[in-house]
Every structure is written in structure tokens, then in C-alpha cells.
């Protein structure tokens, strides 16, 4: 009996010991669920990050991280346009083939195009022609009825009107490009007592009239000016002589003060017949037509070898 009691006690004790060990083990697993302190991890990724170099931005360049695309170690040094050369002898040795840019030479595409275009010089008035001394354009005196006329050439038109089978209207360029040019040295004599000898260049008036086919009844040619001035000639004077309608004087384009775009070179006639700023050539049958000064008592024929009154 006692042996059974002892044996049972041993068994019970053993069971108790096992239970105590079991609960002790469960207690330790509960403690492992509590938050643990952070520990810095030594790994390859951190070392790789530490090896990455920080890129320093460079002026005017955008380089990626790729080693093959890093900024060049010796970039070319750009010089400002205003600088007339390179810094010191060293730069000249390094870049022997570079030429010093001129100031303002490369200032955009427009400036470069302007630089390449040759400069157009203003024509110079000649003072002599074929051994004959010429007067200056400035030798003329201003005596027009309304002062110098300034015509906007884009709106200008020369009319050939009146008794014509083919009346015409020309632009300034059409006259210059459509008719032959002739040169002649002629002296203008003014009733005021002064004169000027000029090399005139222009078209023959008779060629303009011929193209308009004057009718048989035409006996006079009346010229009209931009300022309202008029004068006339018998048709024979214009058709039988080399009368020019000039656009140049002494090899330069006629200035507005002298009659631009066209002045009549009425050779062998007094100066008041040399009408300026011509806008119309009228074919008429009024042989007695009187112009501005003719109505005021001046001779209608205006021949130089006769009095103008």
C-alpha cells in the first residue's frame, strides 16, 4: 500500500514538474511578442549607396549618372562676343585655328544676313560729261508755283490721255522698264537770268505718244503737273525733236525739289516750259491752249531766241 502511495506521489510529482516546465515555456513566448529595440543593419545596399557620388551641376550642361556621360574634364572655354581675343598666350596655343570674332559680327541670323550683304553706296552726282563741265543740281533756284512736291511713288500713275486710240496709264517702274533710256546734255535758261547745264537721262516723249496712237485731229500736247501747273506745245515740237522726259540728273535720280518722278527737258525753250512732277500727257486739238504762265502774259512759244513776253 505504502509502495503504491510512493509510486503515485512520484508520478504526480513528475507530472507537476512537466506542467511547470510547460507553463514556463509559454510565458517566454509571450515575452517575445513585445517590441524589440531597432538595430542598424550592415548590408551591401548601404555600402552601395555610400559609393554613389553626388553630381554637381555644370553651367549649360545636363549630364546623367552614367559614367560614360560625365562632364568632360577639360570643357572648351567660350569667350564672350565683346572680347576681341583669347585670354593670354596659352589660349592661343591651345586653339591656334580659332579666329577672333569681330564685334557685332554674329548677332543672330538677321544680323549675319545683313553683314553678308554688300553695302549700297549712294550715287554721286557727276561734274563733267564728255569734256563738258556740268552745273550742280543745287544750282537750281526754287520758283515753282506751290513749292516742291513730294509724290508717294507707290500711288503714282502717268496718264496718256485725250485724243488717243489707245490711252494708257503707267506706274513709275513701268515707264522706266518699258522704254529705252537716252542721255543728253542740255542747258536750262530761266527768265530770272540764271541757267544750269545738266546731263539729263530719260525716255523720249514721242515714244510714249506713239504707243497711245494719237488721232489725226491731235494738234497740241498739254502737260499736267502734280501741283496743277500746265503748259503746252505744238505736236510737231514733241514728235520731230528728241524731247526727253527725264528721271535722272547728272547720273543721280532726280530729287523731289527738281521734279521727281519726271521733268520735261524742253530744250530751246525758256525754263517755264520745263514742267516738273509730270502726271499727265494730254493729246489735244487746242493749239492755242495757254498754260499757267502763258495765261499771265508769257509767250506761248517760249523760244529762246525770242522775248518771253
Instruction: Give the pLDDT confidence of 232-284 residue by residue, as tens digits.
Output: 999 999 999 999 999 999 999 999 999 999 999 999 999 999 999 999 999 99
Quote the pLDDT of residue 121.
77
Cell of 270: 525758256
Quote the pLDDT of residue 97.
53
Q: Mean pLDDT score of the chain, rounded to an integer? A: 78
End-to-end alpha-carbon separation of the chain, Å?
185
**Mean pLDDT along residues 17-28:** 52
Instruction: Give the pLDDT confidence of 110-137 residue by residue, as tens digits.
Output: 555 666 777 777 789 999 999 999 999 9
For residues 204 and 179, the answer to whether their CB atoms sit within 8 Å is yes
Three-state SS for 86?
coil
Quote the pLDDT of residue 34.
44
- Domain 128-296 architecture: Alpha-Beta Complex (3.90)
- pTM of this prediction exceeds 0.85: no
- Write down how long the chain is: 309
Task: Please choose, from the candidates 197, 204, 224, 196, the residue with its C-alpha nearest in 3D space to the C-alpha of residue 283.
Answer: 224
CA distance 275 to 262: 9
Quote the pLDDT of residue 9.
57
For residues 270 and 285, the answer to whether their CB atoms sit within 8 Å is no
Quote the pLDDT of residue 11.
55
Please, where are the H alpha helices in the chain? 2-32, 44-51, 88-94, 108-116, 172-178, 205-211, 235-239
Tell me the CA distances in angstroms from 23 to 28, 48, 230, 306, one per residue in order: 9, 47, 138, 155
| Chain centre to alpha carbon of residue 273 | 41
Residues of the chain above pLDDT 70, percent: 62
Quote the pLDDT of residue 122.
77
Does the pLDDT at position 139 exceed 80? yes
Beta bridge partners of 199: 185
CA dihedral 205, 207, 210, 212 (to 10 degrees): -80
Instruction: Give rounded-to-5 percent helix, strand, coil for the chain.
Output: 30, 20, 50
* Lowest model confidence (mean pLDDT) among 61-70, 122-131, 147-156, 158-167: 61-70
Beta strand pairing call for 252-253 and 244-249: antiparallel
Quote the pLDDT of residue 115.
64
In the Cβ-directed half-sphere of 177, how many Cα atoms lie within 13 Å? 5
Amino acid at each position: 500500500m505504502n509502495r503504491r502511495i510512493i509510486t503515485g506521489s512520484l508520478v504526480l510529482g513528475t507530472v507537476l514538474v512537466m506542467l511547470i516546465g510547460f507553463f514556463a515555456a509559454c510565458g517566454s513566448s509571450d515575452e517575445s511578442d513585445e517590441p524589440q529595440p531597432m538595430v542598424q543593419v550592415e548590408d551591401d545596399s548601404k555600402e552601395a549607396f555610400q559609393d554613389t557620388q553626388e553630381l554637381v551641376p555644370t553651367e549649360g550642361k545636363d549630364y546623367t549618372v552614367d559614367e560614360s556621360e560625365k562632364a568632360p574634364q577639360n570643357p572648351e572655354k567660350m569667350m564672350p562676343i565683346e572680347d576681341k581675343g583669347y585670354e593670354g598666350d596659352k589660349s592661343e596655343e591651345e586653339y591656334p585655328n580659332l579666329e577672333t570674332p569681330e564685334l557685332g559680327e554674329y548677332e543672330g541670323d538677321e544680323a549675319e544676313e545683313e553683314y553678308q550683304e554688300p553695302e549700297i553706296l549712294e550715287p554721286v552726282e557727276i561734274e563733267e560729261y564728255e569734256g563738258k563741265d556740268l552745273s550742280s543740281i543745287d544750282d537750281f533756284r526754287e520758283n515753282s508755283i506751290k513749292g516742291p512736291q513730294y509724290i508717294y511713288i507707290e500711288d503714282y500713275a502717268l496718264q496718256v490721255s485725250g485724243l488717243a486710240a489707245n490711252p494708257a496709264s503707267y506706274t513709275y517702274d513701268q515707264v522706266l522698264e518699258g522704254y529705252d533710256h537716252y542721255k543728253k546734255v542740255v542747258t536750262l535758261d530761266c527768265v530770272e537770268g540764271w541757267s544750269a547745264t545738266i546731263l539729263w537721262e530719260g525716255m523720249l516723249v514721242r515714244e510714249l505718244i506713239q504707243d497711245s496712237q494719237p488721232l489725226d485731229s491731235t494738234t497740241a500736247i498739254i502737260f499736267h503737273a502734280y501741283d496743277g501747273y500746265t503748259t503746252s506745245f505744238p505736236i510737231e515740237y514733241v514728235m520731230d525733236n528728241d524731247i526727253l522726259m527725264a528721271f535722272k540728273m547728272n547720273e543721280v535720280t532726280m530729287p523731289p525739289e527738281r521734279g521727281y518722278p519726271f521733268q520735261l527737258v524742253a530744250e530751246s525753250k525758256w525754263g517755264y516750259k520745263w514742267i516738273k512732277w509730270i502726271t499727265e500727257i494730254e493729246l489735244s486739238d487746242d493749239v492755242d491752249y495757254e498754260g499757267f504762265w502763258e495765261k499771265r502774259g508769257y509767250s506761248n512759244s517760249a523760244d529762246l531766241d525770242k522775248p518771253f513776253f
